[in-house]
Amino acid sequence: MNEIATKANEMEETEHLQNKLYISETHSKELRMRIRRYVEQLPPMELKPGMEDEWKRILQMNNEDEYSKAAAETIELWARVLQPLVPAGGDRKAQAFNAICMVDEYGLTGFQVQWMEAVLRKVWVHGDLFFSTEEKE
């Protein structure tokens, strides 16, 4: 009887954890959707003069596989969240970190984030402000 009760408790605990995970995933999806709706209402990313064609080329080249596509889909969202922070000043590194955490829907790798920083330095009017190569260690 003791063994059956133990198994029943284990099954109940497993079901409870699965329910908590489902609630957590549902909440996360809803939160990500609200964040995306908010970001999409922000002004578009301001490109450096003459970088429109380069920006289009970068997006087209990085639309073939899921890994590249994830970074390409996130990069403009990241810039759009950071743009309104320009006049406020402050810790740009912290702002960039917080913003990427806010818009990352894919669990981007460090390599993807570094690639996005390099692209934003190249094409975005505020890229050098947020992603200065001098601050890298």
C-alpha–C-alpha distance, residues 24 and 26, integer Å = 5
pTM given for the model: 0.76
Q: How far apart are CA 44 and CA 29, in angstroms?
A: 24
Helices 66-82 and 92-103, interaxial angle, to 10°? 130
Sequence ranges of the domains in the chain: 1-41, 45-137
Higher pLDDT, 1 or 73: 73
- In this prediction, residues 13-42 reach a mean pLDDT of 73
pLDDT tens per residue, range 95-133: 999 999 989 989 999 999 999 999 999 999 999 999 987
Percentages helix, strand, coil for the chain (3-state, rounded to 5) are 75, 0, 20
Please write the tens of the pLDDT for every residue from 70-82.
999 999 999 999 9
Q: Average per-residue pLDDT in the chain?
A: 85
Give the pLDDT score at 57.
97
